[in-house]
Amino acid sequence: MSTWTITSMDRTLTDGDLSDVVTVLHWQCIDSETVDDVTHSGRCYGTVGLSAPDADAFTEWGDITHDDAVEWAKAALGDQVESYEASVANQIELSKNPVQASGTPWN
């Protein structure tokens, strides 16, 4: 199960009657699996812009929780959430079962 984290939030300090309006979320999606004492991990990260807030349902800056921000990011990303989680799972699988390598034969 991937873990979603919000690493930072950009905000507009004043937007009409509202203050500290979150406009962009910086997120990451990570997971890992340990097999035979080797940890295999995957990570996706990015930013997502938010729509203008509904003044009647506005959450004050000091009241925003991490869970709120993750929920907002996932809602803004929509169907892409599954894609990012699949990418993380694929990274782990490729780490466990690599299909490519690099190096030189004389080392």
Q: Predicted confidence band at 39 (pLDDT cuts at 50, 70, 90)?
A: very high
Q: pLDDT tens digit string along 59-82? A: 999 999 999 999 999 999 999 999
- The pLDDT value given to residue 58: 96
d(CA 79, CA 84): 9
Of the candidates 7, 20, 13, which has an alpha carbon nearest to the alpha carbon of residue 61? Answer: 20
Average pLDDT on 39-63 reads 96
- The pLDDT value given to residue 107: 74
Query: 61: which DSSP letter?
Result: G
Domain segments of the chain as ranges = 3-96
Q: In what order do the strands lie in the sheet with 18-35?
A: 3-15, 18-35, 38-49
Query: Residue 20: which residues within 8 A CB-CB, separation 6 or more?
Result: 11, 12, 13, 60, 61
